[in-house]
Protein backbone atom coordinates (compact mmCIF):
# COMPACT_ATOMS: atom_id res chain seq x y z
CA UNK A 1 0.00 0.00 0.00
CA UNK A 2 2.91 2.38 0.69
CA UNK A 3 4.27 3.33 -2.69
CA UNK A 4 8.01 3.16 -3.17
CA UNK A 5 8.23 4.07 -6.85
CA UNK A 6 7.17 7.68 -6.32
CA UNK A 7 10.01 10.18 -6.15
CA UNK A 8 9.07 12.76 -3.58
CA UNK A 9 11.48 15.31 -4.99
CA UNK A 10 11.24 15.09 -8.79
CA UNK A 11 7.77 13.62 -9.32
CA UNK A 12 6.13 16.07 -6.95
CA UNK A 13 7.84 18.97 -8.75
CA UNK A 14 6.91 17.78 -12.24
CA UNK A 15 3.31 17.17 -11.24
CA UNK A 16 3.07 20.51 -9.48
CA UNK A 17 4.13 22.32 -12.67
CA UNK A 18 1.33 20.55 -14.52
CA UNK A 19 -1.12 21.73 -11.85
CA UNK A 20 0.22 25.27 -11.99
CA UNK A 21 -0.20 25.41 -15.75
CA UNK A 22 -3.65 23.86 -15.61
CA UNK A 23 -4.90 26.30 -12.98
CA UNK A 24 -3.30 29.23 -14.83
CA UNK A 25 -5.01 28.12 -18.06
CA UNK A 26 -8.49 27.05 -16.93
CA UNK A 27 -10.26 24.61 -19.21
CA UNK A 28 -7.09 23.59 -21.02
CA UNK A 29 -6.33 19.89 -20.88
CA UNK A 30 -2.99 18.56 -19.67
CA UNK A 31 -1.49 15.07 -19.52
CA UNK A 32 -0.10 13.49 -16.41
CA UNK A 33 2.88 11.20 -17.01
CA UNK A 34 2.36 7.46 -16.59
CA UNK A 35 3.36 6.31 -13.11
CA UNK A 36 4.05 2.84 -11.76
CA UNK A 37 1.73 3.20 -8.81
CA UNK A 38 -1.00 0.87 -7.54
CA UNK A 39 -3.80 3.04 -6.23
CA UNK A 40 -6.98 1.49 -4.84
CA UNK A 41 -9.99 0.92 -7.08
CA UNK A 42 -12.27 3.71 -8.17
CA UNK A 43 -9.81 6.60 -8.16
CA UNK A 44 -7.80 7.94 -11.04
CA UNK A 45 -4.02 7.75 -11.11
CA UNK A 46 -3.94 11.49 -11.85
CA UNK A 47 -5.98 12.23 -8.70
CA UNK A 48 -3.56 10.19 -6.64
CA UNK A 49 -0.67 12.10 -8.17
CA UNK A 50 -2.33 15.38 -7.21
CA UNK A 51 -2.72 14.13 -3.65
CA UNK A 52 0.89 13.00 -3.47
CA UNK A 53 2.15 16.27 -4.93
CA UNK A 54 0.27 18.62 -2.63
CA UNK A 55 -0.56 16.85 0.60
CA UNK A 56 1.47 16.20 3.74
CA UNK A 57 1.03 16.24 7.51
CA UNK A 58 0.12 19.94 7.43
CA UNK A 59 -3.17 19.44 5.57
CA UNK A 60 -6.36 17.42 5.82
CA UNK A 61 -8.64 15.76 3.29
CA UNK A 62 -11.89 13.88 2.84
CA UNK A 63 -12.99 11.28 0.31
CA UNK A 64 -16.51 10.85 -1.07
CA UNK A 65 -16.43 7.75 -3.17
CA UNK A 66 -17.78 4.20 -3.29
CA UNK A 67 -14.35 3.01 -2.14
CA UNK A 68 -13.70 5.88 0.24
CA UNK A 69 -12.36 3.96 3.23
CA UNK A 70 -9.60 2.25 1.29
CA UNK A 71 -8.75 5.40 -0.68
CA UNK A 72 -8.60 7.54 2.45
CA UNK A 73 -6.31 5.07 4.15
CA UNK A 74 -4.05 4.87 1.09
CA UNK A 75 -3.74 8.66 0.85
CA UNK A 76 -3.16 9.09 4.58
CA UNK A 77 -0.48 6.39 4.60
CA UNK A 78 1.38 7.81 1.62
CA UNK A 79 1.17 11.50 2.38
CA UNK A 80 0.80 11.85 6.16
CA UNK A 81 -2.25 14.06 5.63
CA UNK A 82 -5.06 13.65 8.14
CA UNK A 83 -8.57 12.51 7.34
CA UNK A 84 -11.15 15.15 8.21
CA UNK A 85 -14.82 15.99 7.92
CA UNK A 86 -16.19 17.80 4.89
CA UNK A 87 -16.33 20.99 6.94
CA UNK A 88 -12.63 20.87 7.79
CA UNK A 89 -11.12 19.24 4.71
CA UNK A 90 -8.53 21.16 2.68
CA UNK A 91 -8.94 18.66 -0.16
CA UNK A 92 -11.93 16.60 -1.25
CA UNK A 93 -11.44 13.59 -3.52
CA UNK A 94 -14.68 12.66 -5.17
CA UNK A 95 -16.37 11.70 -8.45
CA UNK A 96 -18.34 13.63 -11.04
CA UNK A 97 -21.64 12.06 -10.05
CA UNK A 98 -21.32 12.57 -6.30
CA UNK A 99 -24.17 13.98 -4.22
CA UNK A 100 -24.17 17.77 -4.75
CA UNK A 101 -25.55 18.42 -1.26
CA UNK A 102 -22.12 17.77 0.28
CA UNK A 103 -20.72 20.80 -1.52
CA UNK A 104 -22.32 23.30 0.85
CA UNK A 105 -20.36 21.82 3.79
CA UNK A 106 -16.96 22.59 2.27
CA UNK A 107 -14.78 25.51 3.39
CA UNK A 108 -14.94 28.53 1.10
CA UNK A 109 -12.62 30.80 3.09
CA UNK A 110 -13.24 34.20 4.67
CA UNK A 111 -12.92 37.67 3.16
CA UNK A 112 -9.68 38.20 5.07
CA UNK A 113 -8.34 34.71 4.32
CA UNK A 114 -10.06 33.38 1.19
CA UNK A 115 -7.31 30.79 0.72
CA UNK A 116 -8.64 28.79 3.69
CA UNK A 117 -10.91 26.96 1.31
CA UNK A 118 -11.22 23.48 -0.10
CA UNK A 119 -9.85 22.23 -3.39
CA UNK A 120 -11.91 19.52 -5.09
CA UNK A 121 -10.30 16.74 -7.07
CA UNK A 122 -13.10 15.26 -9.15
CA UNK A 123 -12.83 12.03 -11.12
CA UNK A 124 -14.79 12.19 -14.39
CA UNK A 125 -14.82 9.84 -17.39
CA UNK A 126 -13.39 11.90 -20.20
CA UNK A 127 -12.08 15.39 -20.80
CA UNK A 128 -12.04 16.75 -24.33
CA UNK A 129 -11.39 20.01 -26.12
CA UNK A 130 -13.86 19.11 -28.86
CA UNK A 131 -17.56 18.27 -28.57
CA UNK A 132 -18.37 14.73 -27.51
CA UNK A 133 -21.54 12.71 -26.96
CA UNK A 134 -23.04 13.02 -23.48
CA UNK A 135 -20.38 15.52 -22.56
CA UNK A 136 -21.16 18.63 -20.54
CA UNK A 137 -19.94 21.64 -22.52
CA UNK A 138 -18.44 24.16 -20.09
CA UNK A 139 -17.60 27.56 -21.51
CA UNK A 140 -15.06 29.48 -19.45
CA UNK A 141 -13.78 33.04 -19.40
CA UNK A 142 -11.69 35.08 -17.00
CA UNK A 143 -8.08 35.09 -15.79
CA UNK A 144 -5.89 32.69 -17.72
CA UNK A 145 -8.16 32.54 -20.73
CA UNK A 146 -7.77 34.56 -23.90
CA UNK A 147 -11.42 35.47 -24.70
CA UNK A 148 -13.21 32.17 -23.99
CA UNK A 149 -12.53 28.47 -24.06
CA UNK A 150 -14.76 25.41 -23.86
CA UNK A 151 -14.01 22.07 -22.27
CA UNK A 152 -16.23 19.05 -22.81
CA UNK A 153 -16.59 16.82 -19.78
CA UNK A 154 -18.14 13.38 -19.76
CA UNK A 155 -19.03 12.12 -16.32
CA UNK A 156 -19.61 15.39 -14.46
CA UNK A 157 -23.18 16.07 -13.38
CA UNK A 158 -24.44 19.56 -14.08
CA UNK A 159 -26.15 19.70 -10.69
CA UNK A 160 -22.79 19.12 -9.02
CA UNK A 161 -21.25 21.88 -11.11
CA UNK A 162 -24.19 24.15 -10.28
CA UNK A 163 -23.65 23.52 -6.57
CA UNK A 164 -19.99 24.47 -6.94
CA UNK A 165 -20.83 27.52 -9.02
CA UNK A 166 -23.26 28.56 -6.26
CA UNK A 167 -20.42 28.49 -3.72
CA UNK A 168 -18.31 30.64 -6.03
CA UNK A 169 -20.76 33.51 -6.42
CA UNK A 170 -19.09 35.64 -3.73
CA UNK A 171 -15.55 35.92 -5.05
CA UNK A 172 -12.95 35.74 -3.45
CA UNK A 173 -14.73 33.10 -1.37
CA UNK A 174 -15.11 29.83 -3.21
CA UNK A 175 -13.86 26.41 -4.26
CA UNK A 176 -11.25 25.49 -6.84
CA UNK A 177 -11.69 22.31 -8.85
CA UNK A 178 -9.38 19.88 -10.58
CA UNK A 179 -10.93 17.36 -12.99
CA UNK A 180 -9.14 14.12 -13.86
CA UNK A 181 -10.25 11.48 -16.33
CA UNK A 182 -9.73 7.85 -17.35
CA UNK A 183 -6.91 8.81 -19.70
CA UNK A 184 -4.72 10.42 -17.08
CA UNK A 185 -5.70 13.93 -18.20
CA UNK A 186 -6.32 17.01 -16.10
CA UNK A 187 -8.27 20.26 -16.46
CA UNK A 188 -8.78 22.85 -13.74
CA UNK A 189 -11.38 25.51 -12.98
CA UNK A 190 -10.33 28.07 -10.36
CA UNK A 191 -12.95 30.14 -8.58
CA UNK A 192 -11.90 33.14 -10.67
CA UNK A 193 -13.38 31.60 -13.83
CA UNK A 194 -16.80 32.57 -15.09
CA UNK A 195 -18.49 29.40 -16.30
CA UNK A 196 -21.54 28.75 -18.45
CA UNK A 197 -22.99 25.33 -19.14
CA UNK A 198 -26.36 23.83 -20.03
CA UNK A 199 -28.48 23.16 -16.96
CA UNK A 200 -30.24 19.83 -16.48
CA UNK A 201 -33.72 19.84 -17.94
CA UNK A 202 -35.25 18.56 -14.69
CA UNK A 203 -34.54 21.05 -11.92
CA UNK A 204 -37.51 20.49 -9.73
CA UNK A 205 -36.06 17.83 -7.42
Residues that bind another protein (CB under 8 A): 8-10, 12-14, 16-17, 19-21, 23-25, 53-59, 110-115, 117, 119, 142-146, 171-172, 176, 190-192
CB atoms within 10 A of CB 180: 26
Task: Measure the CA–CA gap between 193 and 179, rounded to whole angstroms.
Answer: 14
Task: Measure the CA–CA gap between 27 and 65, rounded to whole angstroms.
Answer: 24
Pairing of strands 82-83, 119-123: unpaired
Q: Least Å distance between CB 201 and another protein?
A: 31
Closer Cβ to another protein, 11 or 162, answer by number: 11
Q: Where are the alpha helices (DSSP H) in the chain?
A: 10-24, 45-54, 68-79, 158-167
Closer Cβ to another protein, 135 or 138, answer by number: 138
Would you say 124 and 156 are in contact if contact means Cβ atoms under 8 Å apart? yes
Closer Cβ to another protein, 1 or 20, answer by number: 20
Of 203, 192, 200, 117, nearest to 156 (Cα)?
Answer: 200
Closer Cβ to another protein, 36 or 58, answer by number: 58
Would you say 144 and 24 are in contact if contact means Cβ atoms under 8 Å apart? yes
Q: Least Å distance between CB 67 and another protein?
A: 25
Q: Least Å distance between CB 123 and another protein?
A: 19
Q: Least Å distance between CB 36 and another protein?
A: 20
Q: Least Å distance between CB 3 and another protein?
A: 15
First to last CA, the chain: 41
Closer Cβ to another protein, 24 or 69, answer by number: 24
Amino acid sequence: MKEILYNEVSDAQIHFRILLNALAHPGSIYDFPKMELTPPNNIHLASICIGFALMNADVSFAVQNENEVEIAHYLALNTGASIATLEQADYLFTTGNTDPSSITSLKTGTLSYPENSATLIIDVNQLSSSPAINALAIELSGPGIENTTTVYVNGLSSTLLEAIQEQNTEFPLGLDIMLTDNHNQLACIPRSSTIAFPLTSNRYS
